[in-house]
């Protein structure tokens, strides 16, 4: 494969799969924060 083909596919791969990984990471982090909040929230009134 030519160099331009390699560069294009790597760049597109970074955008698509990097973007997907970043979004999944955000979703996991938001979920964890919600869970932590719920746990702390339930222990505070005691």
Partner 1 sequence: MAAVGSAIGLGNLWRFPMVAYENGGGAFLIPYIVALITAGIPLVILEYAVGQYFQGSSPGALGKVKKPFAMIGWWALGVGATISFYYAVIMGWSWDYLVFSFTQPWAGGPENAAAFFAHVLRRTSGPGEIGVISWPVLIGLAATWICIYWIIKKGVLRVGKVVMLTVPLPALLTLLILIRGVTLPGAMEGLKWYLTPDFSALLSGKTWLQAYAQVFFSLSLGFGILTAYASYMPKRSDISNNAFITSFADAGFAFFAGFSVFSILGYLAQAQGVPIAEVVEGGPGLAFVVYPTAISLMPGAPLIAAAFFLTLLTLGIDSAFSIVEGVVAGLRDKWNISQNAAAGGFCLFGFVVGLLFATGAGLYWLDIVDHWMNNYGLVVIGFLECIAIGWFYGTKKLRAYINEVSDFQIGWWWDVFIKWITPLALGWALVANVVEEFKTPYEGYPTWALMAGGWSVVALIIIIAAILTAIPGTKREREEM
By CB under 8 A, residue 39 contacts partner 1 = no
Residue 1: both structure tokens together? 């494969």
By CB under 8 A, residue 14 contacts partner 1 = no
Rule CB under 8 A: choose which of 14, 17, 37, 39 binds partner 1: 17
Q: Got the DSSP string for 1-46? A: --HHHHHHHHHHHIIIIIHHHHHHHHHHHHHHHHHHHHHHHHHTT-
Residues interacting with partner 1, by CB under 8 A? 1-2, 4-6, 8-9, 12-13, 15-17, 19-20, 23-24, 26-27, 29-30
């Amino acid at each position: 494969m030519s160099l331009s083909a390699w560069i294009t596919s790597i760049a597109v791969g970074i955008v698509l799969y990097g973007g997907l990984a970043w979004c999944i990471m955000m979703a996991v982090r938001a979920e964890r924060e919600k869970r932590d909040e719920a746990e702390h929230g339930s222990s505070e009134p005691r």
